[in-house]
């Protein structure tokens, strides 16, 4: 089984990247493809190798934490790879774990593909199985106090402010972020989380 792949991003789509590994292109489904900009620098993705009767699919993650949580989510009845990928696209691993630990059904149902019954199953099936994640994040003080996504109404909205700060941490300049917001603001409904806005902004930034 494939555990990780290291190579250059040769192509991007809304759901996957094509990773060039020694002149072989691997299609890898990933939570936020546009966060993995095409460049000459090789990146590393941690892989979940999914095999079924009609397809062999690769799901890739930037961190071991995402890879591990993805595997845990697949243990929940009713959650397949595409839904689990949507969960990680909609919330950072520590936020998802915090919501499960806190039995926060309202937060979980805001994640793509998660209804109330599935959220309840996530809590029932996983609440006592996430001890490893607790120990990994508790030292940073982030795990149970991490803020949950909020909505944005305009350019000064809290979600965009959070997204802008995170993108600034990645090295993007204020002028670039202003242009990204102008390009995307008409596509914003007002109910996106900061994580979704980051993905939209990265897409605009990548397109130039």
Alpha carbon distance 136, 53 (integer Å): 36
* Least confident window among 52-61, 90-99, 171-180: 171-180
Phi-psi region of 35 (alpha: psi -120 to 50; beta: other; left: phi over 0): alpha
pLDDT tens for 118-144 read 999 999 999 888 877 754 554 444 434
Alpha-carbon distance 58 to 49, whole Å? 5
Residues 6+ apart with CB under 8 A from 84: 70, 73, 74
Report the range of poorest mean pLDDT among 48-62, 124-138, 176-190: 124-138
User: So where are the chain's domains?
Assistant: 4-61, 64-138, 158-207
CATH of 64-138 given 2.60.120.620, 1.10.150.20, 3.40.50.300, 3.30.1490.100: 1.10.150.20
Within this chain, domains 4-61 and 64-138 share the same CATH topology: no
Give the span between the Cα atoms of 99 and 103, in whole angstroms: 6
Question: Domain 4-61 sits in which CATH superfamily?
Answer: Nucleic acid-binding proteins (2.40.50.140)
Instruction: Judge if pTM exceeds 0.85.
Output: no
Alpha carbon dihedral 5, 131, 95, 51, in 10-degree steps, equals: 40
């Amino acid at each position: 089984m494939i555990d990780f792949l290291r190579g250059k991003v040769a192509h991007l789509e809304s759901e996957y990247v094509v990773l060039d590994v020694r002149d072989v292109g691997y299609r890898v489904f990933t939570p936020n493809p546009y966060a993995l900009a095409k460049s000459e620098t090789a990146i590393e993705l941690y892989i979940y190798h999914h095999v079924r009767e009609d397809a062999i699919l690769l799901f890739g993650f930037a961190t071991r934490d995402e890879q591990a949580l993805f595997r845990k989510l697949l243990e929940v009845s009713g959650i397949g790879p595409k839904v689990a990928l949507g969960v990680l696209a909609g919330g950072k691993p520590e936020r998802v774990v915090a919501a499960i630990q806190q039995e926060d059904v309202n937060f979980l149902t805001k994640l793509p593909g998660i209804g109330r019954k599935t959220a309840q199953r996530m809590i029932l099936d996983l609440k006592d199985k996430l001890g490893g994640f607790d120990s990994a994040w508790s030292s940073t003080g982030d795990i149970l106090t991490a803020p949950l996504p909020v909505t944005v109404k305009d350019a000064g909205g809290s979600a965009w402010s959070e997204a802008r700060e995170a993108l600034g941490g990645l090295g993007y300049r204020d002028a670039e972020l202003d242009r990204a917001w102008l390009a995307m603001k008409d596509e914003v409904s007002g109910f996106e989380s900061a994580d979704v806005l980051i993905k939209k902004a990265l897409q605009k930034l990548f397109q130039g």
